[in-house]
Amino acid sequence: MNTKMLPRIIYPLPVKTNWEDGILSLKDNIELFLPENIDNSFKELVTEIWPGFSFGRLELQLKTDNTLPQNSFLLVVNNKPMIPILDETSTYAVCVNANGIAALAVDEISLKHAWFTVLQMLQAETSTPEVESFNVPYVQIQDHPKMNFRAIHICVFPETSLEFLEKIIKLTAFLKYSHMVIEFWGMLKFDVLSELSWPQAYSKEQIRPLLELARRMGLQPIPMFNHWGHAAASRASFARHVVLDQNPALASLFEIDGWTWCLTNPESMRILQQIRAELLELFGNIEYFHLGCDESYSHAMCDNCRKHDSPTLWADFLNSINAELKQRNIRPMMWGDALLEPDKWEGYTALSRADQRTHEALELLDRDFIISDWQYECEIPSNESATIKHFIKNGFDVVSAPWYDYKNIQTLAEGAIKNNAMGMLFTTWHTLPIRMPSIVFASVMAWGKEDGFNDFSQYDQMQRSICGSLCRKLHGKASDYKNAGWRTFEVCESV
């Protein structure tokens, strides 16, 4: 498929797009009719992002039409266009013709998706020195995602600015991701223990508006806090430890190397419980809580933990958290690497160690847990998604979790779709600023690509520039050098 031949490029690619002869021209004041009962968040969203896509040149007047069905909109140019009929499987439909643009959706988030699709079809008329009007080709679109759970995992490092976070939230919501897992690397201030964060960490008051922004745009936030390995809240590569570098005397909260929380220290348990309480208060109404639980190199190595059966100690700890979250109808998520035995999973990442036997916890864990099966080396045919199948066979819901590599993303997305897994969690870690276009690619794969869509080499260059263009429009106003794009500098020594 050559996307350059299409009148418009829409990410993620809609399931059915019938382009027709004719171009709708939008100029002067445009009226957007909404049903009477539509939520204010939709109106706020429209008002917020329309100027960026129309370069502030077209005023959009919001009007109410009480004859409109729920979850619909009409953008009227001549007479009111007909509301499209939804195909059986569609979550939204859009129709553009000489009268204007009409959309219908199954729910309000899908109506936001319809709006994002429409905005991607606006193209400035280029016959005048400055933009005066916009063209939209006549088209009928029927669309739905192949996976309902399409999440991205975002890390907030000391280098991550609030402006960058805002950009990522807007971009991922616009690309129709459904959820965003947010992991603070020592970058959120907790009341329970000041050493859990660096002095430059963000306050809850600074983060709250970003969570509201995510929800307004149709993206559901998921809090994440590492409850086991990665307790340093810093990359293993450089040996920082957010707690112990600020207060070495707190060493007994962790195992001997500081990397893993000590599961037999009551004070560790109290602090982790309080962290969850604070995150639950901050994140508000949520469906999922990610507990981390990957790469626990030093699990149960202290003298107290050694007295316990290793897998039972870990599973009991996690099940007790599940019981707490279940009271609030929240499901826990966890990484899956420690639940896999290396000898059995050649070609996959499997990090249960012989002396820790953490894979034995799989049988002991409550089936409420959602396993995030991260596999970054997998480029094998998707019908061999053995670890996905293994977790499903054992009664768990699974989300496959790729990283930036395109073939890895494609393999894990196809594996999840083919095996009817719960969805996909696209991870970005510390490489996000140099891998931004992979957000676009993963959105296409999680939504469900068309058969035969495989020319990713050509796709990459286009994604990079289109990703930049979308970020600019979603930002909606001029930027200075430092805040333009997604990196604060143009040149550094290594890349």
Instruction: Give the total of residues touching Zn ion (CB under 5 A).
Output: 4
262 touches Zn ion by CB under 5 A = yes
The nearest distance, CB 313 to Zn ion, in angstroms, is 9
Instruction: Specify the long-range contacts of residues 271-277, CB closer than 8 Å, at least 24 apart.
Output: 271/192, 271/193, 271/196, 272/225, 272/227, 273/324, 274/190, 274/191, 274/192, 275/190, 275/192, 275/196, 275/225, 276/225, 276/321, 276/324, 276/325
- Output 70 or 264, the one with its CB closest to Zn ion: 264
Phi-psi region of 218 (alpha: psi -120 to 50; beta: other; left: phi over 0): left
Query: Could you give phi then psi for residue 111, rounded to 5 degrees?
Result: -65, -35
Cα 319 to chain center, whole Å?
Answer: 26
The nearest distance, CB 304 to Zn ion, in angstroms, is 5
Residues 4 and 247: their CA atoms lie apart, in Å, by: 56
305 touches Zn ion by CB under 5 A = yes
Residues 320 and 450: their CA atoms lie apart, in Å, by: 43
- Output 102 or 305, the one with its CB closest to Zn ion: 305
Residues 52 and 119: their CA atoms lie apart, in Å, by: 10
330 touches Zn ion by CB under 5 A = no
The nearest distance, CB 356 to Zn ion, in angstroms, is 12
- Output 305 or 425, the one with its CB closest to Zn ion: 305
Given a contact cutoff of 8 angstroms between Cβ atoms, the answer to whether 20 and 6 are in contact is: no
- Output 314 or 404, the one with its CB closest to Zn ion: 314
- Output 36 or 267, the one with its CB closest to Zn ion: 267
As to burial, measured by CB atoms within 10 angstroms (0-12 exposed, 13-18 middle, 19+ buried), residue 481 is exposed
271 touches Zn ion by CB under 5 A = no
The nearest distance, CB 403 to Zn ion, in angstroms, is 31
Concatenating the DSSP letter of every residue in 288-333 gives: EEE------TTTT-STTGGGS-HHHHHHHHHHHHHHHHHTTT-EEE
Whether the link from the prior residue into 12 is cis, omega within 30° of 0, is yes
Stretch near Zn ion under the rule CB under 5 A, chosen from 3-11, 45-53, 304-312, 374-382:
304-312
321 touches Zn ion by CB under 5 A = no
253 touches Zn ion by CB under 5 A = no
- What would you measure as the largest C-alpha separation in the chain, in angstroms? 78
The nearest distance, CB 284 to Zn ion, in angstroms, is 33
Stretch near Zn ion under the rule CB under 5 A, chosen from 151-159, 255-263, 274-282, 451-459:
255-263
The nearest distance, CB 267 to Zn ion, in angstroms, is 11
Closest C-alpha to 479, from 112, 471, 326: 471
Given a contact cutoff of 8 angstroms between Cβ atoms, the answer to whether 294 and 225 are in contact is: no
- Output 161 or 264, the one with its CB closest to Zn ion: 264
The nearest distance, CB 269 to Zn ion, in angstroms, is 11
250 touches Zn ion by CB under 5 A = no
The nearest distance, CB 262 to Zn ion, in angstroms, is 3
The nearest distance, CB 231 to Zn ion, in angstroms, is 11
139 touches Zn ion by CB under 5 A = no
The nearest distance, CB 307 to Zn ion, in angstroms, is 9
- Output 72 or 310, the one with its CB closest to Zn ion: 310
- CA dist 411 → 94, 338, 402, 426, 449 (Å): 30, 21, 8, 12, 12
Q: What is the DSSP letter of 355?
A: T
The nearest distance, CB 255 to Zn ion, in angstroms, is 5
Residues 373 and 358: their CA atoms lie apart, in Å, by: 15
222 touches Zn ion by CB under 5 A = no
The nearest distance, CB 301 to Zn ion, in angstroms, is 7
- Output 181 or 262, the one with its CB closest to Zn ion: 262
- CA dist 84 → 43, 99, 104 (Å): 21, 13, 6
315 touches Zn ion by CB under 5 A = no
Closest C-alpha to 433, from 161, 178, 249: 161
24 touches Zn ion by CB under 5 A = no
439 touches Zn ion by CB under 5 A = no
233 touches Zn ion by CB under 5 A = no
231 touches Zn ion by CB under 5 A = no
Closest C-alpha to 218, from 285, 170, 182: 170
Stretch near Zn ion under the rule CB under 5 A, chosen from 120-128, 219-227, 242-250, 264-272:
264-272
| Residues of this chain, 346-365, that bind Zn ion according to CB under 5 A | none
Stretch near Zn ion under the rule CB under 5 A, chosen from 158-166, 257-265, 368-376, 407-415:
257-265
- Output 205 or 303, the one with its CB closest to Zn ion: 303
| Residues of this chain, 273-302, that bind Zn ion according to CB under 5 A | 302
313 touches Zn ion by CB under 5 A = no
- CA dist 289 → 224, 377, 399, 410 (Å): 6, 26, 14, 26
Instruction: Return residues touching Zn ion (CB under 5 A).
Output: 262, 264, 302, 305
